[in-house]
Structure 1
Amino acid sequence: MPAERVVFVHGAGSFGAAAWPRQHGLSLELACLYVRRHGFSTTGEPEPTDHARDQAIVAEALGGGGHVVAHSQGAVAAMMLAVERPDLVRTLTLVEPACFSLTAELPATAAHIALMTPLFADRTTMSDDEFLQEFVRRAFSADAQPPTTAEARRSAARLRLHSPPWEAPLSIVPGVPTFVLTGGWEPLYEEVADYLAGTGAVHRQAPGGHRPHDSREGDALIRAFLRTGTAESVA
C-alpha cells in the first residue's frame, strides 16, 4: 500500500522543505511534499498574495487526497481548500494560524488589526527595509531587529506586497479533523486557536514561540495527529 500523502504549507518566512526542518524525517513513513506558495522564489521577483493560486498549489500537491500541515499565513489557503474541497483533505494541522478573518471582532485580533492597518496603508511610501523593520517592531517587539541577509531583504519585499491576513476570504471553518498547534507566547494566535477549538478542532501548545513545530514536543504532537487524526492521539 502506498504511503499516505502529507502536504506542508509554509508561512511568510522560509519556504519549501526549509520551512519544516523537524518534519523531514516523516518522509520515512509518509509521502511528504513541501510546497512553495505563489510568489516565493529564490530567484524570481516577489509577487502579491494570491489565495486562489495558493489553493491550487496545495490541491495539486494533494493529488487524490491526503493530509495538510500549514504554518502561519499558509494556514489561510490550507483552510480555504479544506472548506471548499473536504474530499481532498483528510486532516488539517494548523500551526500558529494567521486566520484573523475569523476572529476580527475579538479583542486580541481587533487590537492587532488596529495596530497593523496604518502600516499596511503606508507601505507604498516605504522602502522594503523600512516596512520590515516597522512590521517586526509592531508584530513582535519594539527591541526586535530584523535580519539583514540578502534573503531577508527578499522576504521584506515579499512581505510588503502581501495583503493583510485579516482580509482573507475566510468565514467558515472546515468540516475535517483539525489540529491547532500554538506556542503559547502571543494572545493573538491563542485567540484564533480557541475560536477553532470552539468549532471542534483540537488545540495544544508546545514551546517554540511562533514556530512550535520546530520543538521536539510540537513535532511529536503533529506526528501523533497525522497517524490517527483524533484528539486522543495528542492528549
Structure 2
Amino acid sequence: MTYAVENWGSGGEQIVLVHGSLAVGAAAFGEQKALADSFSLSVMTRRGYGGTCRINAVDVLRDAEDVVELLGSGAHLVGTSMGGIVAMNAAGRRPDLVRSLTVIEPPAFALASDLPAVRRVSEALKAHWAVADPTELHAFVTGFVAALEMNMPLPDPLPAPVADAAVNLITERPWRVDVPIGAVADASYPKLVVTGGWSEAFDGISMRLAGLLNLECHHLPGAGHAVQKVGAPFNELLRKQIASA
C-alpha cells in the first residue's frame, strides 16, 4: 500500500486533507470530522506513515503526485505543516483540479530566510540534524521540537505512531523544502494561509507567504502549530473559504 485514505461524509464537495511530519492521517484532523455533515472528506495518510509500506525517505514531490491522484476531477485541498508543502506542490502541478487551497504553517523557510526569527530556527534545525543520533528517536524528536522553539513535552517512550513518524522525520531536511510560489500565486482558485500565533518564525513564514499570494494571513491561536485543532473556528474559516470558491 503506497498511501492510505480515510473517508468521512458522503455528500457535498470533496476536501482532501494532508498531514504533516509527526501527526498521521486522521489523528491530525480529528476536529474536522464535524465537516462531514456538509462535505466529503478524504483524510490522507502519506507514504511511509501509519499502516502504509515503509519508505527510504520522505519525498514531498512524490507525495504531491499522490495528492493529485486523490483530487480526482477536482477538490478542495488542505495541508498542515509539511502537508502544506505537499499540498502547495500538488496545487502548483495541477491547478485545474484544485477548487481552493488552505495551508497551515508550512515550513517554507526559504521564503522568509531574511527574517531573523526564521533564519534562527532554520539554522537550529540544520545544527540539530548535523549532530543528532538517528537511532535515538526520543532524543531526535525532542531536539527537533526544541529547534522549532516549541514548548511541547514528549512522553517517553514515544507513542508508536509518533515513533514510526519520527523514522521518516529523520530523512527530511525541512530547511530545504521548496514550494512553487509562482504557479500557486498565478492560479485562480481561492487561497488561505493560517497560523497559530505561537511562533515568531512560523508567523513570519505565513505572513510572507500570504503577502506573496496577495492575501490576508489568518491567526487562530490556541492549538500551537496544529492550528486546525482549535476546531470550530478553523472549520468555520474553511467553510467560508469553500463557499468563496
Tell me whether the two structures share a fold, i.e. TM-score over 0.5. Answer: yes
Corresponding residue number in structure 2 for 1:226:
242
Deviation for aligned residue 1:79? 0.6
Deviation for aligned residue 1:46? 5.5
Corresponding residue number in structure 2 for 1:159:
169
Distance 1:118 1:36, change over 3 A: same
TM-score, normalised by the number of residues in structure 1: 0.87
Is residue 2:223 matched to residue 1:214?
Answer: no
SS at match of 2:78: strand
Is residue 2:147 matched to residue 1:138?
Answer: yes
Task: Say whether the 8 Å CA contact 1:38–1:47 is kept in structure 2.
Answer: no
Structure 2: gaps spanning 5 or more residues: 1-10
Q: 2:136 aligns with which of 127, 140, 154?
A: 127
Task: Say whether the 8 Å CA contact 2:190–2:241 is kept in structure 1.
Answer: no
Corresponding residue number in structure 2 for 1:205:
219
Greater shift, 182-191 or 128-137, is seen at 128-137
Is residue 2:14 matched to residue 1:5?
Answer: yes
TM-score, normalised by the number of residues in structure 2: 0.83
Corresponding residue number in structure 1 for 2:204:
191
Q: Match for 1:200: what amino acid?
A: N
SS at match of 1:7: strand
Deviation for aligned residue 1:178? 0.9
Give matches, 1:53-202, under 5 Å.
Answer: 53-123=62-132, 127-141=136-150, 144-147=152-155, 148=157, 149-161=159-171, 163-173=172-182, 174=184, 175=187, 176-198=189-211, 199-202=213-216
Deviation for aligned residue 1:202? 3.3
Corresponding residue number in structure 2 for 1:233:
none
Deviation for aligned residue 1:160? 1.4
Q: 1:33 aligns with which of 16, 37, 42?
A: 42
1:104-158 residue CA offsets vs partner (Å, 9 max, x unmatched): 23322211111111111234565222211211222235x7432222333223222
Distance 1:228 1:81, change over 3 A: same
- In the alignment, the residues of structure 1 paired with residue 180 and residue 53 of structure 2 have an alpha-carbon distance, to the nearest angstrom, of 32
Task: Say whether the 8 Å CA contact 1:123–1:160 is kept in structure 2.
Answer: no
SS at match of 2:46: coil
Q: Give me the identity figure in percent.
A: 31
- In the alignment, the residues of structure 2 paired with residue 46 and residue 140 of structure 1 have an alpha-carbon distance, to the nearest angstrom, of 28
Is residue 2:61 matched to residue 1:52?
Answer: yes
- In the alignment, the residues of structure 1 paired with residue 134 and residue 78 of structure 2 have an alpha-carbon distance, to the nearest angstrom, of 35
Greater shift, 176-185 or 217-226, is seen at 217-226
Give 4+ residue runs of structure 1 displaced > 3 Å after superposition.
42-47, 123-126
Q: Match for 1:107: what amino acid?
A: P
Q: Match for 1:180: what amino acid?
A: V
Q: Match for 1:153: what amino acid?
A: A
Task: Say whether the 8 Å CA contact 1:10–1:70 is kept in structure 2.
Answer: yes
The alignment's C-alpha RMSD in Å is 2.1
Distance 1:82 1:45, change over 3 A: closer
Task: Say whether the 8 Å CA contact 1:94–1:181 is kept in structure 2.
Answer: yes
Task: Say whether the 8 Å CA contact 1:206–1:217 is kept in structure 2.
Answer: yes
Greater shift, 115-124 or 61-70, is seen at 115-124
Structure 1: gaps spanning 5 or more residues: 230-235
Task: Say whether the 8 Å CA contact 1:212–1:218 is kept in structure 2.
Answer: yes
SS at match of 1:13: coil
Aligned residues: 226
- In the alignment, the residues of structure 1 paired with residue 152 and residue 36 of structure 2 have an alpha-carbon distance, to the nearest angstrom, of 35
Greater shift, 118-127 or 80-89, is seen at 118-127
Deviation for aligned residue 1:58? 0.6
